[in-house]
Amino acid sequence: MITSNIPAMALEFGLSRSEYELTIEILGRQPNITELGIFSVMWSEHCSYKSSKKWLRTMPTEAPWVVCGPGENAGVVEIGGGKVAVFKMESHNHPSFIEPYQGAATGVGGILRDVFTMGARPIANLNSLRFGSPDHEKTRHLVSGVVAGVGGYGNCVGVPTVGGECTFHKSFNGNNLVNAMTVGIADADKIFYSKAAGLGNPVVYVGSKTGRDGIHGATMASAVFGGDAEQKRPTVQVGDPFTEKLLIEACLELMATDVIVAIQDMGAAGLTSSSFEMAGKGGLGMDMDLDKVPQRENAMSAYEIMLSESQERMLMVLREGTEDQAAAIFEKWELDFAVIARLTDTGRLVLRQHGAVVADMPIAPLGKASPEYDRPWTAPERLEVIGLDDVPPLDNPSQALKTLLTSPDLASKRWIWEQYDHMVMADTVGGPGGDAAIVRVHGSQLALAITTDCTPRYCQAGPRQGGRQAVAEAWRNLNAVGARPLAITDCLNFGNPERPEIMGQFVSCVEGISDACKALDFPVVSGNVSLYNESDGQSVQPTPAIGGVGLIDDLDATASMAFDGPNDVLVLVGDTTGHLGASLYLREIAGREEGAPPEVDLEAERRNGDFVRGLIQSGRVTACHDVADGGVYVAVGEMAMANGEIGADVKLPPDAGTPHGFLFGEDQGRYVVAVREMVARAILKEADSAKVPATVIGNTGGDSLTVDGDWAISVSDLRAAHENWLPNYMAQD
Amino acid sequence: MTAAVIVFPGSNCDRDAAVAIEHAMGKAPIMVWHRETDLPDVDLIVLPGGFSYGDYLRAGALAARSPVMSEVVARAKTGVAVLGICNGFQILTESGLLPGAILRNAGLHFVCREVALRVENNRTKFTDRYDLNEVVYIPVAHKDGNFRAVPETLDRLEGDGLVAFRYCDDDGDPGDSPNGAARNIAGILNDAGNVLGMMPHPERVADARLGGTDGAKMFDGLAKVLA
């Protein structure tokens, strides 16, 4: 590793020529290898957001209930009762493709740390997974490893995995996406931040020892894959959920005292980014003795210690003189505890090892000079709207329903979520499989509703509408269980930003997200960007995954999608034109990936959502489901399958024209609501005065699904086929 | 009556058990850290679910050697009720308080779902509130729940009424077990009947809000019997 050819090293570390010259300007000399490593990870795309920050700044991040927006470890919103919800979603795409089990596991570990670093007890995990085509030779192996890794970590730590999504598309053949979200609860007056303060205060390292794993992981995650992805396996970290569990308990125990000044987890770029971030935010310096850093292996170099991404480690600044009190807690939990640095007023990070200074770098200039690019981008092409008469009509709508419900994207994901402990902590009121998970705030009547959403094929077909739709769908899913949507976290997964068309997708999706956040009062409070999800020139479909959090004030006023009984009236809320462009019907039945995605009318979205939430809160809804992939008939089918026995008859409206548009079109802003017959008329009247389109489209009953009394398909058969697809697929060799 | 919940490093259902106990007994249990060598005077000891020591070596193997366990074993021998749930069951077999061993699930995956159980013996401190052969629904969440023992031991457990719960279908007939356990055994008692180990989690269905109260019957029964 020791080499005198620093300029060549710089390129190998992923720095551009001009970035390397900047390091010389900042230091006033050539950097040594340790310093060069630090520059390269701090300025990597993964840590610096150099391609994206110009656009991230344009997103709405404020609302009266937002306590802390982007820039800290996680976002914070008020939920009443003196409590706050703390949450964030993060990607672990590149490592999960190289080594699916550990990549996914450490993704979960990392996001958990982001949340408990802020003083919150994690109460729920979710994940958004995108895999390549089921026909691709690697897909089964990746699904198996990622699911086992997510479960292996979350189950052991004892935080329930309550929801998520999983879809497949060939664009992910060479780059799967693994996005993990954690939600925690903290006392509103006990939130911890990362800004260091207090000259001379001790800087303490806690958790696992530092080893030679994950060195340069952040750099690996900032490049496209060629054919050599597997050779990058040594850059993937190895997780230890047992240590994480101890770390959670020890940190929360210490946080109950008043000794912590600032705290930051060691995530990407490990000790480097955590020390720069804490000292940088406080405008201070740090004098660090690397010999004090707990090490797993002998003779680690300064470079290795600073660049290691060993997991389950935290850095904190304590009040002077409280070291023994803090050490006792970590000793009880059998975790390493070491004072490794002191805060200084030099504004520099000075690293010492074996009695010599091995790095000496100014902190503020390194951050300030952190590159920011206004990358060229081209506006995405506007695709034609596909007319209904351009799509062949149906033979049998119920057969089409079955085809859709057994297609990889809509098939039951039970095989996945039964491998996750979704009940531990005994507050999961609504687990996986619903529109949004419902997790009770321990010991109260309050609950959080949580969902993750994105429709990559819409984002591909029309990035701005796709960005809007991702946010709107999250908002809709929270309304559909009766929750008041509060805020989102986003995880923006795209290809290579150096290509103008990819940058154009990014810019347009961000614009779409911003449109929806503004219109729905649903701000972004935390997030993560993952670029370079691209292999051999094939980029993933743009996937801005949205994690939405909403508040349920009264657990007695919620809804689930399962039919409650026969003879209920089905009311469709929202306008239907029969939009089939970029729909699942078009892809799965007609075999075409074409056309503009559905438009998202955000004013209508808001009116319809507010109306449905009000209905649920008024206690008159017996079941509710948003209309998403596959349209109205799929929504009704899912409501029937959730019950398991009760069917429904869907009546085509007289003006439906070609039935496939009405049954399978994916117009946005819609919900199917089941209500008792005697309240249906009043509800339609209320909708009318709220200017919300609402029509009766059928009723529940029988044990089959039918359209105008015809094309019967049994709910139990449909459910069996829907449940069997994934287990059968995973059982193949 | 007084209960204690033992907390090992990596226990993660300790709070859930405490909530269910407090709900049934009107009094919070004492939480006992695994390094304690003394136990307070209690009527019930619960070894909760979780991943003590990360399941390293073998599930329950390291926790069975924790300092507090010698006292738990001693108390069990004096007749104090001991309930081991999931990882707690694994610790009980590893510490020799219950026979047999618990292996990796037959399907090799972690399984979290509600299962149907048939109550095989309702004349115990733990199952007093259930009917004999009653079908109850209690979730499992484990990767290692495949109970195994030599045939003679299994025969003896069955012959002496020491099988407390068996996996079954909705009608109470033998059904698919979630883990491949021998003779569909989900929970067993020691000879004296004061130690119960079971893979399913009764504390997760002790609150109607969470989808069931079949587990509450166990804690209610213990509260009554041990009062």
DSSP-assigned states of every residue in A186-241: EETT--------STT-EEEEEESPB-S-STTHHHHTTS-B-TTGGGGGGGS----H
In the block, residue with structure tokens 């119960």: B196
CA distance B162 to chain A (A): 28
Q: Is B34 a catalytic residue?
A: no
* Number of neighbours of residue B129 by Cβ within 10 angstroms: 18
Q: Are B50 and B44 in contact (CB under 8 A)?
A: no
Distance CA A405, CA A409 (A): 8
In which order are the strands placed within the sheet that holds A428-430? Answer: A428-430, A437-440, A447-453, A543-552, A484-493, A524-530
Q: Are A634 and A705 in contact (CB under 8 A)?
A: no
Taking an 8 Å cut-off on Cβ atoms, the answer to whether A426 and B141 are in contact is no
Q: Are B179 and B111 in contact (CB under 8 A)?
A: yes
By Cβ distance, the residue of A246, A421, A440 closest to B141 is A421
Which among B5, B11, B209 is the top mutation candidate for probing chain A, defined by the most A β-carbons within 10 Å of its own β-carbon?
A: B209
Which among A146, A416, A420, A421 is the top mutation candidate for probing chain B, defined by the most B β-carbons within 10 Å of its own β-carbon?
A: A421
At B71-125, the pLDDT tens digits run: 999 999 999 999 999 999 999 999 999 999 999 999 999 999 999 999 999 999 9
Partners of A128 in beta bridges: A165, A179
Distance CA A144, CA A155 (A): 16
Which amino acid is located at A255 in the chain?
Answer: M
By Cβ distance, the residue of B15, B54, B209 closest to A241 is B54
Exactly one of B13, B34, B86, B168 is catalytic; which is it?
Answer: B86
Taking an 8 Å cut-off on Cβ atoms, the answer to whether A424 and B207 are in contact is no
At A133-191, the pLDDT tens digits run: 999 999 999 999 999 999 999 999 999 999 999 999 999 999 999 999 999 999 999 99
Average pLDDT of the residues in A630-640: 98
Burial of A385 (0-12, 13-18, 19+ CB in 10 A): middle
Residue A2: band (very low, low, confident or very high) from pLDDT cuts 50, 70, 90: very low
CA distance A726 to chain B (A): 15
| Model pLDDT, residue A218 | 63
Residue A14: band (very low, low, confident or very high) from pLDDT cuts 50, 70, 90: confident
At A254-280, the pLDDT tens digits run: 999 999 999 999 988 899 999 999 999
Q: Chain A residues with CB inside 8 Å of B109's CB?
A: 148, 418-419
Whether pLDDT at A503 is above 90: yes
Residue in A closest to B142 by C-alpha: A421
Distance CA A390, CA A691 (A): 32
Q: Is B168 a catalytic residue?
A: no
Exactly one of B94, B142, B168, B201 is catalytic; which is it?
Answer: B201
CA distance B83 to chain A (A): 18
List C-alpha distances in Å: A175 to A97, A186, A457, A492, A545: 6, 35, 16, 14, 15
At A398-450, the pLDDT tens digits run: 999 999 999 999 999 999 999 999 999 999 999 999 999 999 999 999 999 99
Provide the chain A residues 496-535 that lie in CB contact (below 8 A) with chain B: none
Exactly one of A92, A94, A169, A579 is catalytic; which is it?
Answer: A92
Average pLDDT of the residues in A370-384: 92
At A79-91, the pLDDT tens digits run: 999 999 999 999 9
Q: Is B86 a catalytic residue?
A: yes
Burial of A53 (0-12, 13-18, 19+ CB in 10 A): middle
Q: Are A70 and A527 in contact (CB under 8 A)?
A: yes
By Cβ distance, the residue of B16, B51, B110 closest to A425 is B16
CA distance A269 to chain B (A): 26
Structure tokens at B61: 């193997």
Q: Chain A residues with CB inside 8 Å of B12's CB?
A: 156-158, 245, 424-425
Q: What is the pTM of this model?
A: 0.96
Distance CA A164, CA A156 (A): 19
Whether pLDDT at A216 is above 80: no
- B20 touching A, CB under 8 A? yes
* DSSP for residue B168: B
Structure tokens at B153: 């031991």
Sign of CA dihedral A218, A224, A226, A229: positive
Whether pLDDT at A709 is above 50: yes
